[in-house]
Amino acid sequence: MKHSTMDQANPVDLVVTRIYDAPVEEVWSYWIDPAKVRQWWGPNGFTCPVADMDVRVGGTSFVVMHSPEYGDHYRNWHYEDVVPHQLIAYVRKATDADRNEVDPTTVGMPPDFPRAQRHVVRFEALGVGRTMVTFTEEGWPPIPLVELSRVGLEQCLDKIHIALASRA
């Protein structure tokens, strides 16, 4: 099931919801297990060659999206709140290959790309074997940048569906 909404106020929060046919514990693992994150992080045409995950309050994960056309994109996710099987809240920042924070414009992002952006992922068990995930990216400038993010985020979350379907 796909659902996207955007608050029309400025700045814009992007909210994307997915329902997965898997228990919450299994869906949760796709956010904390490096091998599983590498299966889905990055929109179509991108791979995730690196996912060093440290999912705990105060921890920082380092993820890399790679595309033959656009090269490598490095990000740190610094965790503000983690409640197992319920919530992950982190701040995403652009970095260089050495994991040092950089201004997003120095790595090809437009001037209005957020320097530090809060993300909140909520997990809700829907009875036996189903999970709803609601992913919120806070503080986007209005269209078109938020629309580009929405498309990429939806593709990432669809990859989790594919990974879950292929696990059997």
Q: Where are the domains of the chain?
A: 2-166
Tell which phi-psi region holds residue 27, choosing left (phi > 0), alpha (psi between -120 and 50) or beta: alpha
**HSE-up (13 A, CA, CB side) for residue 64:** 11
Per-residue pLDDT tens over the stretch 29-68: 999 999 999 999 999 999 999 999 999 999 999 999 999 9
Whole-model pTM over 0.75: yes
Query: Nearest-5° angle of CA 43, CA 121, CA 1?
Result: 65
3-state secondary structure at position 162: helix
CATH code given to domain 2-166: 3.30.530.20
Between β-strands 47-52 and 116-125, what pairing exists: parallel, antiparallel or unpaired?
Answer: unpaired
Residue-averaged pLDDT of the chain: 91
Rounded-to-integer distance, Cα 13 and Cα 153, Å: 13
Rounded-to-integer distance, Cα 28 and Cα 107, Å: 30
